[in-house]
Structure 1
Amino acid sequence: MTKLEIKSPLPGTFYRKSAPDAPPFKADGDSVSPGDVIGLIEVMKTFHELPAGVEGKNITFIADDQEPIMAGQVIAEVEG
């Protein structure tokens, strides 16, 4: 089984949910498709959707909710 990395295209703050009281876009262990949104990246009060970009199962988040991240940082891994 191959591990596929989902990396941040932008520096900013990573959010796993669309609002504080909303469920996460994806939970650890979920399957993902390339177009599935797995989180948001906030850059200067602007929110950008982060699509998975890969097909796989058993997503594992490396970055925590509301964690500051850098461009190119691994956000999550999935089994391909």
Structure 2
Amino acid sequence: MSQKKAILSPLPGVFYRKPSPEEAEFFKEGDAVKAGDTVGLIEVMKNFYEVKAEEDGIIEKFVVDNEGIVDAGQELLVLK
């Protein structure tokens, strides 16, 4: 059985699943990601911080919606 791994928010702010409103999402549920891939952005006071996958996996589900408000350490998505 494969182990699930959560990707957590490094800081509080707004979580974005795409690089800009006009662009497609970085990844969708079911997509494979590699360690180091940017899976989202956290905005804090108009500064954007990349959220990166720490290991390879497949995105099982996003726990937070696009433009959802998150706390530091909150689960953003789950890899399987």
Q: Per the shorter chain, which TM-score range?
A: over 0.9
Partner SS, residue 20 of structure 1? coil
Partner SS, residue 32 of structure 2? coil
What number of residue pairs does the alignment pair up?
79
Gaps of 5+ in 1: none
CA distance in 2, matches of 1:51, 1:60: 16
* Residue in 2 that maps onto 1:56: 57
The alignment yields a C-alpha RMSD, in angstroms, of 0.9
* Residue in 2 that maps onto 1:16: 17
TM-score (ref. length: structure 1)? 0.93
CA distance in 2, matches of 1:33, 1:77: 14
- Any residues of structure 2 matched to 1:65-80 within 5 Å, and which? 65-79=66-80
Question: How far 1:59 moved relative to its partner?
Answer: 3.6
TM-score (ref. length: structure 2)? 0.93
Question: How far 1:67 moved relative to its partner?
Answer: 0.3
Aligned-pair identity in percent equals 43
Gaps of 5+ in 2: none
Moved over 6 A (4+): none
Question: How far 1:58 moved relative to its partner?
Answer: 3.5
Partner SS, residue 23 of structure 1? coil
Deviates more, 1:12-21 or 1:57-66: 57-66
